[in-house]
Amino acid sequence: MSDVTGQAGSGRRRAPNHVLISKREALGWSRRRAARELQRLGAARGLGVPELEALEKALYRHESGIALCRDPLYVELYCAAYDATAHELFGDVVPATEAGERYGVRSHKFIAVYIGADRAAELGARELVTPTSPHHGLDCMTREVAHDEGLCRLYVWPFGVAIFHLVEEIAFPNVAHLAVWRRRTYIENLEWASRYMSDLVCADAEASYVLSLYWVHSPIWPPHELDTALRIMCFPKTLLARDPEMSDATLAHAELVERSLLVEGFDYPEMIAFGVKGISLGYASWSGVVYVPVAPQRSLAESELVSTELATQAIWAYCAHINEQVEQGRDPSVPAEYGWRFLRGVRSRLTNPRPQETDQHRFMRSAILDTSGLPGHLTQAIDILRETSER
């Protein structure tokens, strides 16, 4: 990766970026110290960053005006290090990414498989999964999983639910490309997860659904289009025909629909906004979640959204299994320790605010839970299990 992301022409007088300089000096950092911080932040976010010397050189060139900072990687790191927006640091002349280029997203896919409590316990006994930190008070086990398209980790809960968490770094010129990619890869992901889990538990196991969370770290839309673009990204299938068959015309048609919606606006009635003005933009819907950290140091951390989704999808899949048994005309059968009292406690942990919880986290958690339908799903499962246990 080059450290020079936009040369100031030889005929142009250098214009130092005094905002970058003042932000660094306000923290008492030398350029070497600032470079170390950029390197640390990059590593924490799983980003490929240059060597320390290259980062220090880039800092000098960006601060002095020799090079304009147009690289999304540097913009993201500067915003995080200095707790500022791209507009504050670089103004309107140098946006985070040039119009017409690709926006950058980390796609988090949550792929659910119900395997049953016995098989979950067996995986733990065979040490194929190991205990990890609880998510919203729910103990679980985990293991790394090899995947060709990104980083993947399998989470297994003792009540019998497994969730594959697949993280993919993607970049597209518009939301239409994401919508087509999403539909195509969902089919592939479900088939892959079913095969992997069936081999792991030595029995048939079928992945039931995929839910996506999009962390948009490099938006390309102008301010008057950004909000609408994120709304479409939160419900991307609105760009696609109901026919699941993909053809050469699918993308072209989706692009036409997207351009129309960007002009007219898009509002899905069951979508909930949970961003905070000047800090973040966030939307949740039945189809998924999208989030833009406008001020990275003050916004929610990526891990907070991921942890909330893991807990939400684990319980959603468990409740779905209970309801499926009822719909098949059977009394649901679950381990006693994961009966209605367990779900009652889960409902309290997931839906009630915590004493140290921030407003941002509360807004996010409520938006994800409400759009998933989990509160009602939980109440129904609790009532069913209680009724069954009292017979």
pLDDT above 80 for 20: yes
| Cβ contacts of 323-328, under 8 Å, gap ≥ 24 | 323/377, 323/380, 323/381, 323/384, 326/384
pLDDT above 60 for 264: yes
Lowest mean pLDDT among 80-89, 124-133, 193-202: 80-89
pLDDT above 90 for 374: yes
Query: Rounded to whole angstroms, how far apart are CA atoms 189 and 47?
Result: 24
Query: Where is pLDDT greater, at 38 or 241?
Result: 38
Listed residue (163, 161, 181) closest to 171, CA to CA: 181
Lowest mean pLDDT among 69-73, 225-229, 355-359: 69-73
- SS3 call for 372: helix
pLDDT above 50 for 177: yes
pLDDT above 80 for 311: yes
Neighbours of 57 (CB within 10 A): 18
Question: Where along the chain do its domains lie?
Answer: 18-90, 103-389
Lowest mean pLDDT among 70-79, 279-288, 365-374: 70-79
Listed residue (253, 263, 212, 216) closest to 235, CA to CA: 212
Query: Rounded to whole angstroms, how far apart are CA atoms 384 and 340?
Result: 8
From residue 273, how far is each of 187, 221, 280, 281 by CA, in Å?
A: 28, 18, 10, 8
Query: Where is pLDDT greater, at 152 or 89?
Result: 152
Listed residue (376, 388, 386) closest to 340, CA to CA: 386
pLDDT at residue number 91: 65
* Mean pLDDT across the chain: 89
pLDDT at residue number 373: 95
